[in-house]
DNA sequence: CGTTGCGTTGAGTACCATCAACTGGGGTGG
DNA sequence: CCACCCCAGTTGATGGTACTCAACGCAACG
C-alpha cells in the first residue's frame, strides 16, 4: 500500500547549481538528490555540510533514549530499527530503516531521543546538524517541507503497520512486510525483481509484526513449503510473487 | 508515552499584534492560541482567514477517500475518527479526533484523501485552505514548523498505539486508550479529574484497538465489576485511577 | 570441542474471535 | 398506547490463532 518514500527524485542537479559545494563523499552517494540530502543541497545558503560518515556495528545503537545528539542520521548502508520496550522486556519495532531512510527526524521538534534506534547490521550513516538545519529552514522553507514530507510518509507507513497488527493475521503481516520491504528496496535500486538482501533475524521480524519468534518461524516455514519465499545466505527470494501479493492483499494495477 | 498535542500554548496575543485581524468566530474559540490556529494567526501576512465553520452530523464523513478538498479541518466540537478498511470489511481506526485535533494535515503533501474521516458525533470544524497555508508558509516558516510539530506528535501517538496492538492484551489496550483520551481532554479543559465525555460506541473502540466489539464489552464489564471505570449517559467515570494507570502501565512521577 | 546464536519442531494453553441468543432503550408508526 | 424495529450492549458456548515452554539441530567461532 502506502509509499514509504515519496520523496520526489528531484531533477539531477549534479552538474548545475551548487555543484562546487557538494560535500566530499556525497559525489558518489546513491542517495544524493533524494530526501533530506537533496533539500539540504538545494538550499540557497551553502551553510550545511554533511558531517563525516559514521559507521556503527550490528546490534549497537545509533541513538539511545535520553540522548540529545543534536543531529539527524540518514542511513547510507545497512539496516536499522526504531523500537520501544514494554514492561516485561519484549520489544516492538516501530519501523525498519534501510539505506535512504532517516533516523531521528523528531529531533527537529523534540530535543531528546525517545525512540532508540538499533543497527541490525553494520550501518554507516551521514549526520546533519539539527541547529544548522533549522537555520537553513528559516531562510529556505523547502527544507522544512522536505521534513514534512518525510514525516507524513513515515506516518502513513506506521499507520499501514497499525492496520496490519489490528486486523490481519500472521501470514498476512509477514507477506506484507516482505512485499513492502521489497518495494522500498526496489525503489532505491537495492533489490532485483525477485530477491533482496534480507538481514533480519526472526526475532526482529516478530518484534515488528507483534508476534513471537517461534510463530514467525512457523509462518516462514509454511511460505517456504509452499514455494512462496525462501531465505538463504542473507537474501530473500520471492519464488511466487502472485501468491505473496495475494496473501498480502496487495493488488497491482 | 506520548503527548498527542504538544503545541505550546503561545503567549496570549489576544490584545496585541493582529488583534484587529482575528476572523469572526475565533474570538471566543477555546482553540485560539493553539496549534494551527495560533500559527496562522501569528503569521505576518494577514492573508489567511478562517473559513466558515462547518457542521456535520454523526456517522457522516468529513473527508472521503479520493476527494481533494483542498482544505484542512480543525475540530471545534465533537469527536471523529480516521480509519481504513481491510478486505473483508472490518475497519481499523487510526486515530480518534477530539476538539483541537487536526484532520487532513496530509493534504499539505498529498493532494487527495486516502484516510477517510468520519464524525462519531455531530462535529463542527473550521477549515483552512491548503493553498493559502502554503503561501503563508513560504513567507513565514513558523507555520510549517507548526505542521511539523503536529505531524510528529501525531506519529508518536500512532506509534504508541502500534506498541499497544503489537505487545499488549485487551485490558491494557483499553486502559491505555481511556487514560490517553482522558489526558488529552484534560489538557484542553474538556474533562474533569475523574470523568469525561465519552461518545464512543464499543464498535469504534474495537476498531481502534484491533479487537471485536464483543470482547470490548467483556473487558468493559470487567472494569465495571472491579470499580475501575464506568460509562453512563455519554460520560465515562474513572472510579479508580490508580488501578487504571496500573493496568495501563502508565506511571506518574 | 564446548559455546553461543539462530532457527525448527512438538505439546499444551490462553486469549480473543466467532456464532448466536437475548436484553433494554428509543424511535416510529399504526 | 402499544407493537415493532433497530441499535447498542451483554452473555454463553465453542473454537482457532498465536503464545509458552521446551527440546533439539546446526553453523560459526574461539
Q: Which three cell numbers stand for residue A172?
A: 498476512
> How many whole angstroms separate alpha carbon A172 and alpha carbon A180?
12
Chain B, nearest residue to A169 by Cα? B210
The mean per-residue pLDDT over the stretch B97-126 comes to: 93
* Residue A27 CB coordination number (10 Å): 10
> How many whole angstroms separate alpha carbon A54 and alpha carbon A125?
5
Residues above pLDDT 70, as percent of chain B:
81
Most distant CA atoms of chain B, gap in Å: 57
Q: Which three cell numbers stand for residue A13?
A: 542537479
Tracing cell 511460505 back to the chain, one arrives at: A223
Predicted confidence (pLDDT) at residue A202 exceeds the cutoff of 80:
yes
Q: Which residue has the higher pLDDT, A141 or B216?
A: B216
Residue A86 to residue B114, Cβ atoms within 8 A: no
Predicted confidence (pLDDT) at residue A142 exceeds the cutoff of 60:
yes
At residue B194, φ and ψ (nearest 5 deg) are: -125, 10
> How many whole angstroms separate alpha carbon A233 and alpha carbon A195?
12
- Under the banding of pLDDT at 50, 70 and 90, the label for residue A49 is low
Cα distance from A180 to chain B (closest Cα, Å)? Answer: 17
At residue B102, φ and ψ (nearest 5 deg) are: -110, 135
> How many whole angstroms separate alpha carbon A168 and alpha carbon A4?
20
> How many whole angstroms separate alpha carbon A99 and alpha carbon A197?
12
> How many whole angstroms separate alpha carbon B173 and alpha carbon B160?
10
Classify residue A199 as exposed, middle or buried by CB count within 10 Å of its CB (0-12, 13-18, 19+). Answer: middle
Instruction: Answer for the pair B244, B175: CB distance below 8 angstroms, yes or no.
Output: yes
Which residues surround strand D, with CB < 7 Å?
A 169-171, 210-212, 214-215; B 201-203, 213-214, 217-218, 220-221, 224
Residue B148 to residue A144, Cβ atoms within 8 A: yes
Instruction: Answer for the pair B5, B35: CB distance below 8 angstroms, yes or no.
Output: yes
pLDDT per residue as tens digits for the range A117-134: 999 999 999 998 898 888
- Under the banding of pLDDT at 50, 70 and 90, the label for residue B150 is confident
* Residue A148 CB coordination number (10 Å): 23
pLDDT per residue as tens digits for the range B9-28: 333 333 333 333 455 567 66
pLDDT per residue as tens digits for the range B138-148: 777 778 888 88
> How many whole angstroms separate alpha carbon A202 and alpha carbon A176?
15
Tracing cell 510463530 back to the chain, one arrives at: A215
Chain A, nearest residue to B93 by Cα? A163
The 3-state secondary structure of B46-114 reads CCCCCCCCEEECCCCEEECCCCCCCEEEEEEECCEEEEEECCCCCEEEEEEECCCCEECHHHHCCCCCC
Hey, is B230 helix, strand or coil? strand
The mean per-residue pLDDT over the stretch B225-230 comes to: 97
Q: Is B87 in CB contact (< 8 Å) with chain A?
A: yes
Closest CA to B150 of A148, A192, A47: A148
Give all strands of the β-sheet with B54-56 in edge-to-edge order. B54-56, B123-129, B71-77, B102-103
- Under the banding of pLDDT at 50, 70 and 90, the label for residue A141 is confident
Helices and strands counted in chain B (H then E): 7, 11
Lowest-confidence region among A118-132, A195-209, B30-44: B30-44
* Residue B77 CB coordination number (10 Å): 16
Q: What is the pLDDT of residue A37?
A: 74
Amino acid at each position: 500500500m502506502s509509499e514509504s518514500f515519496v520523496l520526489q527524485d528531484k531533477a539531477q542537479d549534479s552538474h548545475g547549481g551548487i555543484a562546487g559545494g557538494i560535500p566530499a563523499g556525497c559525489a558518489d552517494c546513491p542517495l544524493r538528490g533524494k530526501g533530506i540530502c537533496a533539500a539540504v543541497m538545494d538550499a540557497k545558503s551553502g551553510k550545511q555540510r554533511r558531517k563525516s560518515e559514521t559507521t556503527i556495528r550490528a546490534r549497537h545503537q545509533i541513538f539511545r533514549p535520553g540522548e540529545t545528539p543534536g543531529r539527524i542520521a540518514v542511513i547510507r548502508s545497512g539496516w536499522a530499527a526504531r523500537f520501544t520496550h514494554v514492561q516485561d522486556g519484549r520489544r516492538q519495532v516501530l519501523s525498519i530503516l534501510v539505506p535512504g531512510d532517516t533516523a531521528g527526524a523528531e529531533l527537529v521538534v523534540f530535543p531528546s531521543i525517545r525512540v532508540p534506534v538499533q543497527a541490525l547490521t553494520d550501518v554507516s550513516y551521514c549526520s546533519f546538524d539539527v541547529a544548522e538545519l533549522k537555520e537553513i529552514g528559516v531562510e529556505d522553507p523547502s527544507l522544512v517541507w522536505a521534513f514534512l514530507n518525510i514525516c507524513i510518509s513515515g506516518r502513513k507507513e506506521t499507520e499501514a503497520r497499525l492496520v496490519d497488527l489490528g486486523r490481519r493475521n500472521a501470514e498476512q503481516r509477514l507477506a506484507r512486510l516482505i512485499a513492502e520491504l521489497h518495494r522500498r528496496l526496489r525503489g532505491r535500486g537495492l533489490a532485483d525483481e525477485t530477491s533482496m538482501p534480507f538481514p533480519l533475524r526472526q526475532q526482529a521480524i516478530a518484534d515488528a509484526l507483534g508476534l513471537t519468534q517461534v510463530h514467525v518461524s512457523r509462518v516462514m516455514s509454511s511460505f517456504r513449503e509452499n514455494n512462496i519465499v525462501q531465505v538463504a545466505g542473507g537474501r530473500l527470494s520471492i519464488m511466487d510473487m502472485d501468491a505473496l501479493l495475494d496473501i498480502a492483499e496487495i493488488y497491482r494495477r
